[in-house]
Chain A
Amino acid sequence: MNRAREEMIAGLTADLAPVRSFRLRDGLVLTGVAALLTLAGVALFKGLWMGAYHGDATPFFWITNGLLLLLGSASTLAVVNMASPQVGSSREAPKWATAMVGVLPLAAFLSLIPRHDPIGTIVDPVSYHCMLDSLAASALVAIALVLWLRRGAPVSHNAAGWHTGLAAGALGTVAYGLSCALDTMTHLGIWHILPIAIAAVVGRMVVPRLIKW
């Protein structure tokens, strides 16, 4: 070993202080708290759609939000894991969950084919609000995940960006979705999926710059 390295090792050793090792649970709790705060905010400012709990919701409401919750959970788990360097991929679950969620917009478009005015059915002012509010509801989870990644040592920045966007988008959309009384396949399959796609792209573009170490 050369002298420069010996001196560096001596310096690092002298600088050593005890640290609390990373725990997966801490990252999950942080994200869970962010998601619950988001839900509380949605309940406070928008009000949850109570009709869903009285049997007024179509099955699409529960299927869509259930799938998004799974996607959000799988992506969150992947991001939390990514904060600790490791060799080998543990990101299969978000891929499959994304594929499953991808069926929803496909079903939405197929359901439009027999209609007279498919464009008019898709485009309505309320739907834009759904998209924008879902994106706004994604912010807190995104911040929590970025803070977690910054505390850690992620080694796959692009993947971390995609997954952070997916997790934040999916959990934010679920939180907002519980306040949305529009429960048709067309509305849910398009306007509650679009925010997730946008969040994923934004995550891919922005997050890698924030987590570089």
Chain B
Amino acid sequence: MKADHYLDAIGLSCPMPIVKTRNAMKEAETGEILEVKTTDKGAKADLTAWAKSGGHELLEQTEDEGVFTFFIRKG
């Protein structure tokens, strides 16, 4: 999937992935896609909940060797 914005949150722990995602999303326009990479296992549930509460769309979520990748479309 192709993203318009990219955020590397690898190695960061709660609440940093959410805070950085929020800040990165502020820079994006509605409809644009943000790709987030994180190693925080809690972020899996957290980013899903965050996207939902903010009216964003979680398009895709994958895991590869402990790195979680999220594609979120700004709502």
Partners in one complex: no
B contacts, CB < 8 Å to A: none
A contacts, CB < 8 Å to B: none
